[in-house]
Amino acid sequence: MAVLVWFYTGIATFVLYLCFYRWIFMRNFKGPKVWPVIGCTLELAWNRSRMYDWLTEYCNGFYPTWKIRLPGKDIVASVDPANVEYVFKGNFSNFQKGEPFKVMCHDTFGSGIFNTDGDLWKRQRKIASYEFASKVLRDYGCDNSKAHAVNLCRILDQASKDERPVEMMDLALRLSLESVCKLGFGVDMGSLDPSLPTLPFVKSFDSVTQRLADRYVDPLWKLKRFLRIGSEKVMAEQLKKVNNFTKELVLTRKAELEAAAHHETRVDLLSRFIGAIKEEPFTSDPIKDLQDAVVNFLLAGRDTSAAALVWTLYAISSHPRVDEKIVEELQQLEGEKDRDVSLERSFDDFARLLDYDTVNLKMQYLQAAILEALRLYPPLPFNVRMALKDDILPACGTIIRAGDDFLYSSYAQGRMEQLWGEDCLEYKPERWLRDGICRQESHFKYPVFHGGPRLCLGKDHSLLHLRITLAMLLRFFRFQKLPTCEMKYKVTVSLLTSDEGLKMMVQKR
């Protein structure tokens, strides 16, 4: 009897403690419900499959700043452009990747540009910026984008003749893989061959990035890695395959450069990094440094470009009025380039019209349609920075303690009525146009490409690639999503669609 009394007394005490904790200490807390010891972990895990909408709901509910309390730290989330600017730019030196993030990503990104701070980050960014600023690379990238867009058009043309649906997420990933590997590493992967071959490396790379994202919401990932069980066992197996591929790629390119000596100039990022590391290695393992560079730029270019293309195509095809206006703009371009607009052009003929100046100056509505799609469906939906010292956010006075994270969600920020108006959830390219010219917003209101010192180096190239690809696709084809296909994202590093992808019927115009 005494045991039962103590048991029920313990239960009652625990319940009273929870009530006291929740309704006394945490009643004014701005954020998800907090429980002793575990914080918001349960709610975070429960919403992991809809993470970006979950963040958006709390951003709306506690606009503009709120907290996620986890064991050992707080995450301060804000969609206020002034706070974002402060973290991106105003006090940039105090908000870094941080050691916990680096540890989480080290086996994947190593000492690459996206997993470093300080001098090592600055040096890698400087090397890459020289290449992105090169007119040679710009022109090479333009030709590269056109060539791959033509190959994609031929695949879609056959699908339209066969009257069979296509999976656009898969095709977009293939397209961006070819573009990034040619531009970044000087290699052809062959993934846009009409047979659409399966590439083992790609499957391994996708598996690694998915499990990397899982670590954000899995407090036991270190234990799993130590025991080599579950998702971490799969991670290790697939990462080994990725490392084997990147090592072979690096060694092959080094051998090619040494054989060519001064007789050939390579126009790709990997060749520039090989030259820079030859003079001064990043770490004690130069080959691993180059492997890390490959993985970092592959992730930055492939997944984000593919996500941007698919979600923009989905948005445009879901709004026939926008689709028609883009086609009108393209037809006007044809009229300016060649007065015989009745001529039935081939894919190659039209691609030749898309020179760098034309794409940048003559496609204002298409550019607006892209920016509007990325507002609602940003390729990188959220990111975090860790405070090295105690700090105060200027727009709201929220205190961030040393070791806490600042979370900014471009997905949520693009859906805030306070920033974009009552029609913020509507897809309206016109919101970007002023007197027919597409105008850019502040990087801090529109952090799709980040901002400040970490502004995306490939921003201009990515937008150029998108404009060229969409101009080719929309000039020759109409796209319609299958009624049975439900567009959902999966929570990974980039805003890729769920495994079902985007199934569409393609009709030749």
pLDDT in tens, 38-89: 778 888 888 988 999 999 999 999 999 999 888 888 899 999 999 999 999 9
Q: In this predicted structure, which of 21-30, 113-122, 196-205, 456-465 has the lowest mean pLDDT?
A: 21-30
Instruction: Give whole-number Cα distances, 115 to 73, 237, 244, in Å.
Output: 21, 21, 20
| Signed CA dihedral, 426, 432, 438, 441: sign only | negative
Global model pTM greater than 0.85: yes
pLDDT at 439: 92
Q: What residue segments make up the domains of the chain, in order of their start? A: 1-30, 31-508
CA 312 to CA 73: how far, in whole Å?
36
Helix (H/G/I), strand (E/B), else coil: 400: strand
- Is the domain covering 31-508 a CATH 1.10.630.10 domain? yes
Is 424 known as a binding-site position? no
pLDDT at 151: 94
Mean per-residue pLDDT, 227-240: 91
Mean per-residue pLDDT, 85-96: 93
Q: Which of 102-106, 109-113, 413-417 has the highest mean pLDDT?
A: 413-417
Query: For the segment 206-219, what is each residue's pLDDT rounded down to a tens digit?
Result: 888 888 888 877 87
CA 230 to CA 221: how far, in whole Å?
9
Q: Is the pLDDT of residue 19 over 60?
A: no
Confidence of residue 415 (pLDDT cuts 50, 70, 90): very high
Query: For the segment 418-432, what is each residue's pLDDT rounded down to a tens digit?
Result: 999 999 999 999 999
Which residue bears the tokens 């080994």? 240
- Give the 3-state DSSP-derived string for 47-66, with helices as H, strands as E and coil as C: CHHHHHHHHHHHHHHCCCEE
Q: In this predicted structure, which of 13-17, 92-96, 114-118, 466-470 has the lowest mean pLDDT?
A: 13-17
Pairing state between β 405-408 and 73-78: parallel
- Give the 3-state DSSP-derived string for 137-191, with helices as H, strands as E and coil as C: HHHHHHHHHHHHHHHHHHHHHHHHHHCCCEEHHHHHHHHHHHHHHHHHHCCCCCC
Q: To the nearest 5 percent, what fractions of the chain are helix, strand and coil?
A: 60, 10, 30
Please provide residue 127's backbone torsions phi and psi, each rounded to the nearest 5 degrees.
Answer: -60, -50
CA 322 to CA 328: how far, in whole Å?
10
Q: Pull the structure tokens for residue 134.
A: 């090169």
pLDDT at 342: 47
Query: For the segment 142-175, what is each residue's pLDDT rounded down to a tens digit?
Result: 889 999 999 999 999 999 999 999 999 999 999 9
Residues facing 480 on adjacent strands: 505
Q: Is the pLDDT of residue 340 over 90?
A: no
Q: Is the pLDDT of residue 314 over 60?
A: yes
Q: Which of 20-24, 183-187, 287-291, 308-312 has the highest mean pLDDT?
A: 308-312
Instruction: Give whole-number Cα distances, 176 to 2, 12, 46, 301, in Å.
Output: 70, 59, 33, 7
pLDDT at 114: 83
